[in-house]
Amino acid sequence: MMFQGRKLHRIPEEGKIKGVCAGIAHYLDIPVMLVRVITVLSLFFGLFAFTVVLYIILSFVLDPRSPGEVGAEIPLSRHQLLDEADRILRQGEHRLRDVERYVTSETFSTRSRFRQL
């Protein structure tokens, strides 16, 4: 699941009012501005009462993110991301070579012949 291991928090340090939109954005891995725009648009397009009530409820129900958790999500630099991508691609290449080695081996052809019988 995409959200496994994550918890929804308010992020008052990054928020404009209480940090609810910032917390939702971090939870969903989307830009904070997008969540804010959706929230403001919902106010104007017939969901005013629902949006205000939900925002107030979430501002009291959600715990603020502790300062220790803020530092845990330091984004990787471009070089670190490229190194991680390179590592993942090399692992995939090694697995592909292992599969290729097995498929072209005598063991595979022997097992394949037995299955055909």
Residue 23 has pLDDT above 50, yes or no: yes
Domain of 100, in residue numbers: 75-117
Q: List Cα–Cα distances, 64 to 47, 57, 67, in angstroms.
A: 26, 14, 9
Q: What is the pLDDT of residues 49-77, one digit of tens each?
A: 888 888 888 888 887 887 655 445 556 67
Q: Does 82 lie in the same domain as 67?
A: no
Q: What is the pLDDT of residues 99-110, one digit of tens each?
A: 999 888 888 888
Euclidean distance between CA atoms 1 and 22, whole angstroms: 21
| Contact indicator for 23, 8 with CB cutoff of 8 Å | yes
Q: Does 94 lie in the same domain as 47?
A: no
DSSP calls for 80-100:
HHHHHHHHHHHHHHHHHHHHH
Q: Does 100 lie in the same domain as 82?
A: yes
Across the strands, what pairs with 10?
A: 64
Q: Does 101 lie in the same domain as 64?
A: no
